Structure 1
Amino acid sequence: MKNERWEWRPLGDLFDIGAGKTMSAVARDGIDKTPFLRTSNVLWDEIDLSVVDEMAIPPHELPGKLVRPGDLLVCEGGDIGRAAIWNGEVETMSFQNHLHRLRPKADGVEPRFFVYFLQCAFTQLGIFEGAGNKTTIPNLSRNRLADLEVPQPPIGEQRAITQALAWVRSAMKSHDRATAIAQELKRAVTRDIFTRGLRGAPQKETEIGQVPDSWDVVPLGSLGRIGNGSTPKKTLPKYWIGGTYPWLTSAKVYDREIVSADQFVTDVALRECHLPRVEPGAILIAITGQGKTLGHCAVLGIQATINQHIAYVATDTKRADPSFVRGYLETQYDYLRQVGSGGGSTKGALTCAFLRGMPIPFPPLDEQREIVEILDAIDRKIDLHKRKRAVLEDLFKALLHKLMTGEISVADLDLSALGQTVLEGVAA
């Protein structure tokens, strides 16, 4: 869907398109190396410099392989068309051949407007379908890129659209920063709490390190029953068709509390497959899983059953607050993953037997509950920033689509309201 109010021209008419340096064994092993950008460094409207590679570029080639502030970088391969502006974050930076470097060669060009247009075109409108070479590795060659028809609205309108979208992006980033700060605060507070407690009591050395002298260290299995579930045969309809009893996989163990299910089994499956009926308040632990799932813990908020990749800990709530136990297990995420991956001295998977013997700190119940209140307050702050960020992301996507298709005009936007959104995001 094109905005017919705008003039459309080939991208090559507006920008000079430069080619990057190809990595080679000689470049890899040479001296006097120069940092360079790859496609992994170029995100949508963002340059990620967390990992930057280097290669040797001959002096006579180097000037033509450098980026300068204001250059528009576009990915040739991978997520083709992905684009961002280089703002001069590093004084000397080159770029690899899988990136295109675009510099305005015509008047009336605001490069960041074209970042946003390309994002809309490639991720929402699909108007450049087939621009990549789909017969082999998807790529966006220089000639294909130069031939892409793009709009060139009046420069004032380009800048106004860019400003509106950039303000929303700024608000999103402010919530990303606030979330990261709150998560670091939680890590620091958690380390301190599980080492010092809340009562200022003297500490003692234990098998899990220092804990308050008034705390015990007990096996997890002493707090309640530990077990796991199984998977009824998918080929038997009697186990699944018409099922109403929640059945959870390790993929569901990703939040502090589980309050819903995606899959359900029948009463026949519960009976014949000996599935446990796990009550609300049990702690669930992913004992296997793809990606980062292994080691995740959550408190069950509904009655459910589970598969063999989850262990449950049904504690006596008169002795142990489930959220306290989950909070401590969260601090052991890396250790649980090491054990579950066969590392360390255990030389085995993360099993129920291992969990039963796992030592955990055990303060009095009233102190457990106070600790949970503190950690919950930080978690609520983190959740608030994540929710606000999600709302802003939806707003950005809607604005991007409507502005680039002409469904709304930037002149109709209340930019002061968007500016206030940014300020609220920073202050939150």
Structure 2
Amino acid sequence: MALSLARLRSIPIPLPPLPEQRAIAYVLRTVQEAKEATDRVIAALRELKKSLMRHLFTYGPVPLDQTEAVELQETEIGPIPAHWRVVRLGEVVKDSFSGGTPSTKKPEYWGGNIPWTTSAILNEDDIFLSRFQRTITELGLDRSASKTAPKGSLIVGTRVGVGKAAVAGFDIAISQDLTALVLKSNVEALFAAYLFKSAFLQEQIRERTRGTTIKGIPRRDLLSILIPLPPLSEQREIARMLQAVDARIEAEEKKKAALEALFKTLLHHLMTAKIRLPEEFVARFAEATP
């Protein structure tokens, strides 16, 4: 619906004295600039993480100035340290299964104490799955194709949200969109979750994805994906380094959210005079250029 010029002109607006206008604009601009600076930090950290992943999955957890000392081997997935192996994902998986959805026409299947989810809950950046969509009952679990993925297993989107992956933070029942991978003891689950964020693994997933209306990757094709397999100690160190960057990104995201909330609150309160800036602060803007 269009707003006429006459209607626009008739809208009442608050009009504080000019020095107070300038002071309000200064405060809001300062918060806005802080949020923009935080956005730039987040973008830089995300680029750092991409570069770090390329480095770690090529040379291992070694400093940049020591990469020339790392003996590399050429493999189907690119260069990796000579003491690493390339294996099929299925070689490090003890058990794998997809899930299902209890009938929504049966209310007795829903609202129990068993967490249940589809792939919609997974974000691309997630490393841990710490949320769920709904809960189901024991009856709903028993009388459907849904299965419970144990805590610590890798949950992968294989039907919707293909390629997203995170480590289950608790036992959780899964839908048909997801596949649970119970890993063997020679694989660190967090390392495996970070592998699923890598470009070379995502490319393999895209090559194996099928379907038109609903695209997915068959479990056997998922398990055929090639992955690098460092010693367990190096897997853990790689995961630790990437978690450190993720923790910094999360802290900056929280800072950004706090600044956005502060801006909205100040905008509302200052424009409606619910709060007023101190007179001595406003006085600084009496002769300032707008």
Question: Shift of the alpha carbon at 1:364?
Answer: 0.5
Question: Shift of the alpha carbon at 1:207?
Answer: 1.1
| Whole-angstrom distance in 2 between the partners of 1:219 and 1:337 | 13
- Which letter maps to 2:60? G
- Which letter maps to 2:178? I
Mapped contact 1:253–1:285 kept (Cα < 8 A): no
Query: Could you tell me the percent identity over the aligned residues?
Result: 33
Cα offsets for 1:304-330 (capped at 9, x unmatched): 0111111221102x2000000111111
Q: Does 2:112 align with 1:249?
A: no
Question: Shift of the alpha carbon at 1:248?
Answer: 1.1
Which residue number corresponds to residue 230 of structure 1?
Answer: 100
Which residue number corresponds to residue 201 of structure 1?
Answer: 70
Which residue number corresponds to residue 287 of structure 2?
Answer: none
| Whole-angstrom distance in 2 between the partners of 1:413 and 1:383 | 37
Cα distance, 1:334–1:151 mapped onto 2, change above 3 Å: farther
Question: Shift of the alpha carbon at 1:235?
Answer: 0.8
Question: Shift of the alpha carbon at 1:198?
Answer: 2.8
Larger radius of gyration: 1
| Whole-angstrom distance in 2 between the partners of 1:335 and 1:142 | 53
If asked which structure has higher relative contact order (CA below 8 Å, sep 6+), I would say: 2
Structural mapping, 1:379-418, within 5 Å: 379-411=246-278
| Whole-angstrom distance in 2 between the partners of 1:163 and 1:294 | 46
Which of 142, 155, 163 is the equivalent residue of 2:18? 155
Which residue number corresponds to residue 265 of structure 1?
Answer: 136
| Whole-angstrom distance in 1 between the partners of 2:225 and 2:8 | 58
| Whole-angstrom distance in 2 between the partners of 1:341 and 1:387 | 35
Mapped contact 2:45–2:249 kept (Cα < 8 A): yes
Which of 315, 323, 326 is the equivalent residue of 2:183? 315
| TM-score normalised by structure 1 residue count | 0.59
Cα offsets for 1:8-39 (capped at 9, x unmatched): xxxxxxxxxxxxxxxxxxxxxxxxxxxxxxxx
Which residue number corresponds to residue 278 of structure 1?
Answer: 149
Partner of 1:244, secondary structure, is strand
Partner of 1:150, secondary structure, is coil
| TM-score normalised by structure 2 residue count | 0.86
Q: Does 2:219 align with 1:352?
A: yes
Cα offsets for 1:103-148 (capped at 9, x unmatched): xxxxxxxxxxxxxxxxxxxxxxxxxxxxxx2xxxxx3344443333
| Whole-angstrom distance in 2 between the partners of 1:296 and 1:166 | 38
Q: Which runs of 5+ in 2 are unaligned?
A: 63-68, 283-290
Question: Shift of the alpha carbon at 1:195?
Answer: 1.1
Question: Shift of the alpha carbon at 1:149?
Answer: 2.5
Which of 75, 84, 93 is the equivalent residue of 1:215? 84
| Whole-angstrom distance in 2 between the partners of 1:186 and 1:391 | 23
Which of 102, 106, 109 is the equivalent residue of 1:239? 109
| Whole-angstrom distance in 2 between the partners of 1:392 and 1:209 | 42
Cα distance, 1:375–1:150 mapped onto 2, change above 3 Å: same
Q: Does 2:241 align with 1:374?
A: yes
- Which letter maps to 2:105? T
Which residue number corresponds to residue 158 of structure 2?
Answer: 287
- Which letter maps to 2:122? V
Question: Shift of the alpha carbon at 1:151?
Answer: 2.4
Cα distance, 1:339–1:312 mapped onto 2, change above 3 Å: farther
Mapped contact 2:116–2:173 kept (Cα < 8 A): yes
Q: How many residues align?
A: 269
Cα distance, 1:203–1:143 mapped onto 2, change above 3 Å: farther
Question: Shift of the alpha carbon at 1:336?
Answer: 6.2
- Higher helix share goes to which structure? 2
